[in-house]
Amino acid sequence: MGWFSRSNRRKAQAEKKEDVWVKCPSCSAHIFKEEWEKSFHACSKCNHHDRLTCDDRLAMLIDDGSFEERYLKVKASDPLKFADATGTYAAKLDAVRQDTGLNEAVKAGRGTLNGLKVVIAVMDFRFVGGSLSSGSGEKIFLAVCYAERHGLPFIMVSTSGGARMQEGIISLMQMAKTCAGVSRLHKSRLPYISILSDPTFGGVSASFAMVGDVSIAEPGAMIGFAGRRVIEQTIKQELPPDFQTAEYLLAHGFLDMIVKRADMKDTVYKILRYWTPR
C-alpha cells in the first residue's frame, strides 16, 4: 500500500507548489504568488497586466478604509424580457450576481486617493463582460452627478466588451446618458480621469471611456470599437499586428499616457494636484 502514500504525498506537494507560484498567462513565467498580488497581477517578466476585479482596483487606487460605496440598490432592468436558447436574461443576471457578489458591472462611491477626496466608478469584466446596461449606466451617471454636486474629481476605470444587447436600445441610450453626465463635469471645471484597462471595447470605448480630461491606459490593454476580425472582413485589409493596443493608440494620439499599475495611484494623484478645488 506504500504507493498510495507516495501518490498522496506527491499530490500534496503539487498543491503546495500551486499555492506558492502563479503562472503568467502571457509568458508562462512562474512568479511568487505574494509578488503577483503585490504587483496587482502585473508580470515582472513580460509586463503583462492581467485582469483585476473591481475590488482589486479600488485597493490599488483608493486609500485603505476610505471607500464608501453608493447606489447599492441600482440594478439592470429587463425591458425586453429577453430569453435565448440558453435561458432568460433575468436568470443569468441572478446567477452572475451570486457568483461575483456584485449587483451590477460597476461599483461606484467616494473615497480618498493619497488623502485627496475623489469619486470613483470601477467596471468589473466578470459581470456579463463588464457590459454597459441600464444599471451600470445609471450608476456611472449618479456617480458623476455626485462628483459635480460636491465639487470633487471623478475617476472612471473601464473594462468592457460593449453595450449589453439583451436590453436593446435601453443599453445603447447609456452611451449618451453617461456622456451627458461627463459634460456636467466639464462645465463645472471638475477633472475627469479616464483609466482604460484590458479590454475596453464597443459602446464604452465610444462614449465615456474616451472623453476624459486625461486618458490613461495600462500597458498592452486592448482598446477599440469593433473587433479586429470584423474590421478586417469589412475593409478587406490586414491590420497591423499591434492594432488596438494601448501602445498603438498612444502613438496615434488617442491616449495621453500609458502607466503601469505600480505607478497608477501616484500618477493620478500628481495629475489631480494641478487642479484647484472650487
Give, for all 278 residues of the chain, the pLDDT tens digit: 455 555 555 555 544 555 788 888 778 778 878 877 777 777 877 877 888 999 999 999 999 999 999 999 999 989 899 999 999 999 999 999 999 999 999 999 999 999 999 999 999 999 999 999 999 999 999 999 999 999 999 999 999 999 999 999 999 999 999 999 999 999 999 999 999 999 999 999 999 999 999 999 999 999 999 888 999 999 999 999 999 999 999 999 999 999 999 999 999 999 999 987 76
**CA-based R_g, the chain, Å:** 21
pLDDT of residue 270: 96
Supply the pLDDT for residue 10: 57
Confidence (pTM): 0.88
Residue 129, pLDDT score:
94
Residue 43's pLDDT is 82
What's the confidence (pLDDT) of residue 175?
96
Any idea which residue has 440598490 for its cell? 73
Q: With contact defined as beta carbons under 8 Å apart, do 51 and 41 qualify? A: yes
- CA distance linking residue 231 with residue 237, whole number of Å: 8
* Rounded alpha-carbon distances, angstroms, from residue 25 to 6, 176, 197, 252: 31, 36, 16, 28
- Grid cell, residue 219, equals 500597458
Cα(255)–Cα(49) distance, rounded to whole angstroms? 18
* Distance between CA atoms of residues 268 and 278, nearest Å: 19
Q: What's the pLDDT at 13?
A: 53
> Tell me, what's the pLDDT at 18?
58
Domains located in the chain, CATH noted: 1-50 (no CATH), 51-272 (3.90.226.10)
